[in-house]
Structure 1
Amino acid sequence: MIVITAPTGQIGRRVVDRLLAAGAPVRVVARDPARLPAEVRERVEVVAGSHRDREVVAKAFAGAEAVFWLVPPDPRAADVTAAYVGFSRAACAAFTEQGVRRVVGVSSLGRGTPVAAKAGHVTAALAMDDLIAATGVHYRALALPSFMDNMLRQAGSIRDRGVFVSCGAGDLRAPLCATRDTAAVAADLLLDRAWTGVQEVPLLGPEDLSPEDMAQIMSEVLRRPVRHRRLPVEEFRAGLLRSGMSEAVSRAMVEMYLAKDAGLDHGVTRTPRNSTPTGFRRWCEEELRPVVSG
């Protein structure tokens, strides 16, 4: 049995689809099972509730060999470390109590870089990895850069004003990964019963791009001018607060951007093994353009 947490999210739903296509037995943990597609509900076991809760994970992990672990975003969190590490404590206890052998988790690039200790969400995710590894379970941490799919959050601004914003440098090239590729690697690892130990699995996409490079590609794909606008840190954070983020989360987001500017995502050398296939142009054609045009 393979257990999937966050099965209705960008990554989790794709992991579920790939496992079902492979004929694997799947159990999902869902706060709102009604959000699962009907065809999925018919083919999986469903445990209703939050995977933060001890009773829920004890039930979900019983008899499971492998778990896909993803902490859902909490834009209103009062403490970002607690949102990762505190959220994962019950699951870590259940890994041991229920005899789970292998865990694949969604984490971040940056371990070993000088700026990792003050990198907001990344610092918290790396602490979560340490907590999971300390249980003794075999663990693969998917070490991820920024997601291409995050651009969908700014689809309205791109459509209406031809602008996307960040507080990062416009000319700094860095890796980008698509959630579809993350899901593919996660599913393959969950199906592979041979690996052991604890290891990071960097997923870097096929190329490094700057926000200016991305703007050029989007302009060509969308056939309209698109530009990147770098906001001053405090202006950027004020926008996050207006969108509903808590003080702690908005501060952690800024810390993460500043850490990325300082080299957070550049600690891993690109190789064919860690270069995932979906390029940003293809992603724009298949994911962004339908949203902007629609």
Structure 2
Amino acid sequence: MIVVTAPTGTIGSQVVGNVLAAGQPVRVIVRDPAKLSPGVRENVEVVRGSHGDPDVLAEAFADADAVFWLVPPAPDAPSVEAAYVGFSRPAAEAIAKYDVGHVVGISALGRGTDLAEHAGLVTGSLHMDDLIAGTGTNYRALVMPSFMENLLNSVRAIKTQGLLTSVISGDRKLPTVASRDIAAIAARLLVERDWSGFEEVAVLGPEELSFEDMAAVVSDVVGEPIRFEQITPQVLTSRLTGFGMGVPLAQGMADMMVAKDGGLDNAAEADPAFETPTTFRQWCEDVFKPAYEAV
């Protein structure tokens, strides 16, 4: 039995689809089963509730062979550590108690760099990995740069203002990855389970682009001029708190972006065994352009 957390999210929903397509039994933990597509709901076991709840985890993990672990957004968390390590602690206890053999988690690049302990959300992710690995389970942390899908959070501003913004410098070339490639690798690891121990798998995407490069690609794909503008960390935190995010997580986001601008995502090398074929242009054609046109 493969347990999938966050099964209605961008990555988790695709993981569920891929694992079902491989003919594997799937159990999902979900707060609202109505948010599952009918095709998924009819073919999975459903445990209703939060995957931060020990009782829910006991029901879901009792006979699990593998778990896909993804921490949900926690904009009002009291700290980054609480959002990642605190939320994951009941799961770590359940993994150990029920002897779950394999766990695949969503994490971030940065381990081993000088920036890792001052990188906001990334630092929380790496501490979460240590917690899970400490249970003794076989663990693969999928460590990634920014997701292409993050651009969807700004699609309205990009269309109405013709502007793409980031704390990261416009000429800093960075890897970026599509969620469908992440989900494909996660599902493969969950299904095959021919691996052991704790390792990080760098999921980097097929190219490195700067924000100036991305603005040019978006412009070409949507047929309208889009320019890039760098903003300060203070502007970012102000925007995020204005949208309702608490100060600790907003600061954690800003600290992460500053670390990325300092080279946090540039140290890792892609593993040729885990292909990530989706280019940024292809993703823009398939995903961003329809969202842009729908605004």
TM class by smaller structure:
over 0.9
Aligned AA (1:13): S
Corresponding position of 1:142: 142
Q: Which residue does 1:90 correspond to in 2?
A: 90
For 1:247, the equivalent position in structure 2 comes to: 247
**Normalised TM-score (structure 1):** 0.98
Alignment partner of 2:50: what SS? Answer: coil
1:66 matches 2:48: no
Distance 1:51 1:84 in 2: 12
Q: Deviation of residue 270 (structure 1)?
A: 4.0
Identity %: 52
User: Which residue pairs with 1:43 in the alignment?
Assistant: 43
Aligned to 1:116: 116
CA distance in 2, matches of 1:193, 1:78: 36
Q: With structure 2 as the length reference, what TM-score do the two structures score?
A: 0.98
Distance in 2, matches of 1:173 and 1:101, equals 38
Q: Secondary structure of the equivalent of 1:176?
A: strand
Q: Is the 8 A contact 1:204 1:275 kept in 2?
A: no
8 Å contact 1:173–1:210 — kept in the other structure? yes
Structure 1 CA distance for aligned equivalents of residues 278 and 271 of structure 2: 15
Aligned length: 294
CA RMSD across the alignment: 1.0
Q: Which amino acid aligns with 2:264?
A: L
CA offsets per residue over residues 65-115 of structure 1, 9 Å max, x none?
000000001111111111100101111111111121000000000000100
Amino acid at match of 1:163: L
Aligned to 1:53: 53
List alignment gaps of at least 5 residues for structure 1: none
- Distance across 1 between alignment mates of 2:214 and 2:266: 18
Specify every segment of 5 or more residues in structure 2 that has no aligned partner in the other structure, as ranges.
Answer: none
The alpha carbon displacement at 1:232 in A equals 2.0
Distance in structure 2 (CA, Å) of the matches to 1:108 and 1:275: 17
Deviations 1:213-254 (A, max 9, x none): 000000100110011111122122111110111000111011
Task: Indicate conservation of the 8 Å contact 1:112/1:267, yes or no.
Answer: no
Q: In the alignment, which residue of structure 2 is the partner of 1:210?
A: 210
Instruction: Give, as a single letter, the amino acid of the residue that structure 2 aligns with 1:103.
Output: V
Displacement after TM superposition at 1:25 (Å) = 0.2
Q: What pairs with 1:1-294 in structure 2 (closer than 5 Å)?
A: 1-270=1-270, 272-273=272-273, 276-294=276-294
Asked if the contact 1:49–1:56 (Cα under 8 Å) also holds between the matched residues in 2, the reply is yes
CA distance in 1, matches of 2:27, 2:94: 15
- Kept after mapping to 2: 8 A contact 1:75/1:249: yes
Whole-angstrom CA distance in 2 between matches of 1:36 and 1:138 = 29
Q: Which amino acid aligns with 1:250?
A: A
* 1:272, distance to aligned residue in structure 2 (A): 3.4
Aligned-pair CA distance for 1:274: 5.0
Q: Report the Cα distance in structure 2 between the residues aligned to 1:196 and 1:229, rounded to whole angstroms.
A: 44
Give 2:227's aligned amino acid: R
**Cα displacement string for residues 271-292 of structure 1 (whole angstroms, at most 9, x for unaligned residues):** 5345511000000000000011
